[in-house]
Copies of this chain bind each other. A is one copy, B any other.
Amino acid sequence: MRLSQLFTKTTKNVPADETARNAQLLIQAGFIHKEMAGVYAYLPLGLRVLENIKQIVREEMNAIGGQELIMTSLQSQELWQKTDRWDDEKVDVWFKSELKNGTPVGFGWSHEEPITMMIKNYLSSYRDLPVGVYQFQTKLRNELRAKSGIMRGREFVMKDLYSYTRSDSEHQAFYDKVRLAYMRIYERVGLGERTFYTFASGGAFTQFSHEFQTLSEAGEDTIYLSRAKKIAVNEEVFNDTVLAQLDLKRDELERCKAAEVGNIFSFGTTKSEQLGVTFTDEDGAEKYVVVGSYGLGITRLMGVIAELMSDDKGLVWPAAIAPAQVYLARLGDSSGVVKQADELYNRLTAAGVGVLYDDRELRPGEKFADADLIGLPFRVVISDKTLATGSYELKARRAEKALHVSLDTLLATVDVKA
């Protein structure tokens, strides 16, 4: 895309009403727009990052047999009363309204109940199981405070997967597959090395749920991490009994701030008992379905990456989720420069390499500052100077210095497939 066409602009002004680094940078670079506290629109560059993350998650969910669908935001009181989660005393993040005839409705902050009721229509025999279904859904949560930018919003995108299985062992096998799929996702988006499988509270259902925690000073959680064993314990369940159970010793653990980027739950048969979801097994006996729930915050993941990977000059996107791979800065508008830059833009675009082509009438310093702020993996400069030397100036976003390379080297370097 040509930057002369892109309607967003960058700004040097740090938004005064944002304390979170991710929101500051994403607003300054034109990726997001603040509608109100905790509520952000995703502008063209931001939407591309979001869609790139979704596509990685989609591939990994499909690979473990997940079937994609999309539930609704509007929720019925009747349904949520069945599991005692309608009352504001029980769930304090509901947004509620009502139909014209006075019937109360809620706005989906979670979808375990409706998705399980929907699945119930299609389950009767053991032959219908196991089933894994997932969606990318905009969740609405009436959070008291919303100061973490897109890391915790009142409106945000979540991937939520649900599993329906015949037995605890079948459930555990699926749960393990999800765990591995999640680790592949964090690896692919560039957070693999600093994201850890973490034992957390299981609530009313099981002793533990499991979180995926990414080390970050901006995180809201505290975990105790064993780097050697690559597991962690959330502070909320950190005690001697738990440590003994997990065969962990206090002195091998490091206390860290972390951001939760995924959370997986076993519900056992609690939900299916509440909602009456049964199947007939091979012996003709009626049994309750075992249910699991697997969340992964898409917008939060984007926020964590923006926060962690940035430096003092701006954002630094991993290639797999960057809104484009190459920032092509054309300096000056001599006919030779324009011709070579247009040619490179067309060639890379035709090869499927995403390019932001800075064809604007701006000073070099302004273009370089924008390149750093927007944070694509590579910056390429074409100027009268590079033209004279017959080379291209190429700089990786994190590199100290630019290189002067041939066209072949340039093409080989930037042809990064996500």
Residues of A that sit less than 8 Å from B by CB: 5-9, 30, 33, 35-36, 39-44, 46-47, 50, 65, 67-76, 95-97, 99-100, 105, 107, 114, 118-119, 121-122, 128, 131, 133, 138, 140, 142-144, 154-155
Contact = CB atoms under 8 A, between A and B. Distances in A.
Given A41-B69, A74-B155, A121 B33 contact: yes
Contact of A114 (B41, B114, B119): B41
A33 B111 CA distance: 14
A72 B35 CA distance: 7
Nearest to A6: B67
B44 A5 contact: no
A122 B154 contact: no
A74 B44 contact: no
A154 B95 CA distance: 17
A278 to B, nearest CB: 16
A144 B118 CA distance: 25
A72 B155 contact: yes
Among A36, A76, A114, max chain B CB count under 10 A is at A36
Contacts of A121: 33
Contacts of A74: 35-36, 39, 140, 154-155
A256 B2 CA distance: 46
Among A72, A75, A128, max chain B CB count under 10 A is at A72
A68 B44 contact: yes
A42 B67 contact: no
Contacts of A96: 97
Nearest to A99: B142
Given A9-B122, A73-B138, A105 B100 contact: no
Contacts of A44: 67-69
A355 B70 CA distance: 21
Q: What copy number does this chain have within its complex?
A: 2
A40 B71 CA distance: 7
A121 B67 CA distance: 40
A143 B100 CA distance: 7
Given A35-B76, A138-B73, A142-B100, A41 B122 contact: no
Nearest to A154: B74
B7 A122 contact: yes
A45 to B, nearest CB: 9
A8 B72 contact: no
B7 A128 contact: yes
Across chains A and B, which 6 residue pairs bring their CB atoms closest together, nearest first?
Answer: A95-B97, A7-B131, A35-B72, A41-B71, A39-B74, A33-B118
Contacts of A70: 41-42, 47, 50
Among A7, A128, A155, max chain B CB count under 10 A is at A7
Given A95-B105, A100-B144, A72 B6 contact: no
Given A100-B142, A107-B107, A118-B33, A72 B7 contact: no
Contacts of A131: 7
A142 B138 CA distance: 19
A72 B99 CA distance: 21
B105 A8 contact: no
Contacts of A40: 72
A5 B74 CA distance: 29
Contacts of A75: 35
A300 to B, nearest CB: 16
